[in-house]
Amino acid sequence: MSTSTEVVLDSAPGLTIDGKIVSTSARRAVINPATEQVLAEVPDATVEHLEQAVSAARRAAKGWSAKDLAERQQITLSFVDKVRENIDELARLVTLEQGKPLDKAAGEIDSGLRALTRYASLDIPVEVIRDTNDELVEIHRVPVGVVGGITAWNYPLLLALWKIGPSLVTGSPVIIKPSPLTPVATLRLGELAQEVLPPGVVQVLSGGDSLGKAISTHPGINKISFTGSERAGTSIMSAAGPTLKRLTLELGGNDAGIVLDDVDVQAIASGLYWGGLSNCGQVCAGLKRLYVPRRLADDVADALTAIAATVTVGNGLHDGVMMGPIQNEVQYRKVKGYVDDAVQRGADVYFRGEIPDGPGYFHPVTLVRGLADDVPLASEEQFGPVLPLLTYDDIDDVVARANNSPLGLGASVWSSDESRARGVADRLEAGSVWINNHPVLTSDVPFGGVKQSGLGVEQSIYGVLAYTDIKVIRATRG
């Protein structure tokens, strides 16, 4: 399948500041990963733009937080409706800049909107600790203030919506900074937001790392919600320290999946495959290390190969494509380097898929076995369409190997015996452990990591409350 079709946007969306759409003289090129051509040139926000946005957000905070919860939730639903009306346009922009197939891009947006709809139905009641003749003690949840939301390039709109939703519901204006690699759809989302939200409540600024640092250090921003690498997360945490910003950090993962010896291999094969290779393997909580009993290794490898052989890789705008390119050249070269290094160390590539002729950061689906845990392909987060299969003989040993990582975002256990799987799951060091699936994220369940995979959680009432501070009202009586 050729990927020579070039799509260039006639015009790019602008920054959104204080209810207005703003252009800039400085521009930043955005590359379509399926063609390696410039898709658009977007505004490159300066520190001055950030100052304007923060001032607008702080002005907006007074009126937005003064609205009662039900009114904010109703306006949030209006925003959901506005985005849904434009989902086809937004999905196309996501595909063009991120690379994923069009139906997956639409699914990403739909998932984010379903999360917002759930948040718009949550109750955040006052908690009464004590109500006696002597004393009344209440816990109130108050808006945290202005939020800086910094998103990653693998799910640009889903991650933006995950940060916008709690901000809207809790009364905290938000400034979203998308990845400089995928800013187009998020900028357009910001334009749509201005049609239904008060000025300053949701603003979007595109820019590079210097803008992210300015957001992290700005004294007028009260909280940072960041999704990305652990390296960037530690930098943000350090930058936010002097102003004691509240932090939600969803960072990288090198998730282990452990297959037990009682499984029906054919029954779990699809779950294993897509657990590791959905979104071209570019999933923070994706399955990245697959541990299989030695006696089942051939059966699992054969089952994964059969699925991989059916996967069509190509331009996400084309019919029938199931997997797009890696999003950017740097990541493409990183993934290729991991595979080349593993092969040089003696690993066996037992399946290598086909990729389109022509340009694009297309990496073949690659299934690898015969490597040790300390090979970088297994010990580091590869973030591409590659799945290493490792074998084990002893359950205690494999649990120790799975936990032998500085990261702890997710993990999974695969077994026909739920009780037995639970026993293994209880021993794994991860923020989420799935049984017979990987990963499953829904807006009613908290999601976050342990160790260096992050701080705090997103989604569910717990994620929403992370956009609030506790305020205690304590009255002495009598």
Q: Could you read off the pLDDT of 73-87 as tens digits, one per residue? A: 999 999 999 999 999
pTM over 0.85: yes
Give me the catalytic one of 108, 284, 381, 458.
Answer: 284
The pLDDT of 94-121, averaged and rounded, is 98
Percent of the residues in the chain that have a pLDDT greater than 70, as a whole number: 99
Calculate mean pLDDT across residues 231-242. 96
191 is catalytic: no
Orientation of helix 156-170 relative to helix 102-119, angle to 10°? 10
The pLDDT of residue 6 is 61
Q: How much is the average pLDDT of 451-474?
A: 98
pLDDT tens across 15-63, in order? 999 999 999 999 999 999 999 999 999 999 999 999 999 999 999 999 9
Q: Where in the chain is the domain with CATH 3.40.309.10?
A: 255-442
- CATH fold, domain 255-442, is Aldehyde Dehydrogenase; Chain A, domain 2 (3.40.309)
3 pLDDT higher than 50: no
- Reported as a pLDDT band with limits 50, 70 and 90, residue 342 is very high
| Res. 2 pLDDT band, cuts 50 70 90 | very low
CATH number for 15-251+453-473: choose from 3.40.50.170, 3.20.20.150, 3.30.300.30, 3.40.605.10: 3.40.605.10
Segment 185-198 shows an average pLDDT of 98
Q: Which residues contact 68 (CB under 8 A, 6 or more apart)?
A: none
Query: Over the stretch 405-432, which tens digit does the pLDDT of each residue have?
Result: 999 999 999 999 999 999 999 999 999 9
Per-residue pLDDT tens over the stretch 300-316: 999 999 999 999 999 99
- Beta pairing class for 223-227 and 147-150: parallel
Q: What is the DSSP string of 106-140?
A: HHHHHHHHHHHHHHTT---PPEEEEESSSEEEEEE
d(CA 226, CA 138) in angstroms, rounded, equals: 31
pLDDT recorded at residue 329: 98
Which residues of the chain are in CATH 3.40.605.10 domains?
A: 15-251+453-473
pLDDT at 117: 98
Residue 41's SS3 state is strand
Q: Does the pLDDT at position 448 exceed 60? A: yes
Determine which helix (DSSP H) or strand (DSSP E) holds 339, and give its type and residue range. helix 329-344
Token reading at 381: 């987060």
Structure tokens at 385: 């369409």
Whether the predicted pLDDT of 8 surpasses 80: no
Residue of 250, 381, 429, 458 marked active site = 250
Annotated catalytic, 284?
yes
Q: Look up residue 408 and give its DSSP letter.
A: E
